Amino acid sequence: MDPKVLARYNSVEGADSYRAEYETKLHRKLSHKLERKLFQKLFARTKKIGSLVDIPCGRGRLREIFLENAERVVEGDWSFHMLEGNRRDYGGDGRTPYFRASALHLPLADRSFDCVASIRLNHHIDDVEEREQHVRELLRVADRYVIFTFFSFHSLKNLWRRARRPFNGKRPKRTLSLRRVRELGEENGFRLLMAPTLSKLGSGHRFALLERVENS
Ligand SMILES: C[S@@+](CC[C@H](N)C(=O)[O-])C[C@H]1O[C@@H](n2cnc3c(N)ncnc32)[C@H](O)[C@@H]1O
């Protein structure tokens, strides 16, 4: 991840402003609403989950959605300050334990959670090898389902960015292709069930749902 972005997430102000953005900025509120709908679609497919680990949990934006759809939820993040803020705001109800870890090297046993969720991290990871390592790590820990987001190589947003790049010199988006996500799943005993987009034109984010193939 860009060290500046990571440092911001790992600061008191960065952690608090991430939470505040989703409460005050219109485009963030809209995207949260779209995400809520999208999760309904994904969880309609999985039905109620036993145990779910959410990493990165950020400032707990998706906590309620996960608690509605899983019996037990554990939340993790790399940022101390995200975790600290969550403990302060939600710790009292004791419904979600917190742990600090990198989602690229989870201190969790193989197949130790029914579902592993990793939302809005992959597109921050600079190196394509590490983006793929992130996906493999989620698949290793999941006994049944993985839900994760990635920025789609073939999205209009990315194609537009690539077309303009020779003129504005902006850095390329950190993408994965849908085909590669499917392959990574298959290489690790999963099949891709669906990967809806947050919005066809306005967003390049896709929400992939993978399921472990029986006997794999
Ligand atoms: C864009 S936020 C997403 C948070 C949450 N999933 C959401 O959608 O609101 C990215 C989060 O990734 C965390 N992060 C960055 N690198 C990480 C890593 N290697 N492992 C786990 N968390 C990481 C940051 O601290 C931040 O909380």
Q: What is the pLDDT of residues 141-175, one digit of tens each?
A: 999 999 999 999 999 898 889 888 888 888 889 99
Measured in Å, residue 170 CA sits from the centre of ligand 1 at: 23
Task: For each of the domains in the chain, give its residue range(s) and CATH number, in order of start.
Answer: 3-212 (3.40.50.150)
Rounded to 5°, the CA angle 6-17-33 comes to 100
Q: Say whether pLDDT at 201 is over 90.
A: no
Per-residue confidence (pLDDT) for residue 76, from 0 to 100? 97
Q: What is the pLDDT of residue 199?
A: 82
Are 209 and 145 in contact, with CB atoms under 8 Å apart?
yes
- Distance between Cα 77 and ligand 1 center (Å): 6
Question: Which residue has tokens 């190196």?
Answer: 127
Give the mean model confidence (pLDDT) for residues 107-120.
98
* The two structure tokens encoding residue 92: 């009292």
3 state SS of 178: helix
- Residue 12: which H helix or E strand, with range? helix 12-24
Ligand 1 contacts (CB < 6 A) are: 1, 6, 9, 55-58, 61-62, 77-79, 82, 102-104, 119-121
The Cα 177–Cα 18 span in angstroms is 27
pLDDT at 127 exceeding the cut of 80: yes
Taking the C-alpha atoms of residue 20 and residue 11, their distance in angstroms, rounded to an integer, is: 14
Rounded distance between C-alpha atoms, residue 158 and residue 203, angstroms: 9
3-state SS assignment for residue 18? helix
Cβ–Cβ < 8 Å for 97, 72:
no
Q: What is the pTM of this model?
A: 0.94
Q: What percent of the chain has pLDDT over 90?
A: 71
Residue 114 φ then ψ, to 5°: -60, -40
Give the pLDDT mean for 61-72: 97
Burial 143-163 (b: 16+ CB within 10 A, else e): ebbbbbbbbbbebebbeebee
Distance 180 CA to ligand 1 centre (A): 22
- Residue 10 CA to ligand 1 centre (angstroms): 10
**Ligand 1 geometric centre to CA of 186 (Å):** 26
For residue 198, what pLDDT is reported? 87
Express each pLDDT in 8-51 by its tens digit: 888 888 888 887 888 888 888 888 999 999 999 999 999 999 99
Q: What is the DSSP string of 103-115?
A: TTB-SS-TT-EEE
Residue whose Cα lies nearest atom 18 of ligand 1: it is 102
Mean pLDDT of the chain: 93
Q: Which atom of ligand 1 is nearest to the CA of 6?
A: 15
* pLDDT band, residue 91 (cuts 50/70/90): confident
CA atoms of 33 and 22, how far apart (whole Å): 10
Q: Residue 6: what pLDDT?
A: 83
- Contact of 38 with 207, CB cutoff 8 Å: yes
Cα–Cα distance measured from residue 9 to residue 133, given in angstroms and rounded to the nearest whole number: 21
Atom of ligand 1 at shortest range from CA of 134: 19
Q: What is residue 171's predicted lDDT score, i.e. its pLDDT? A: 86
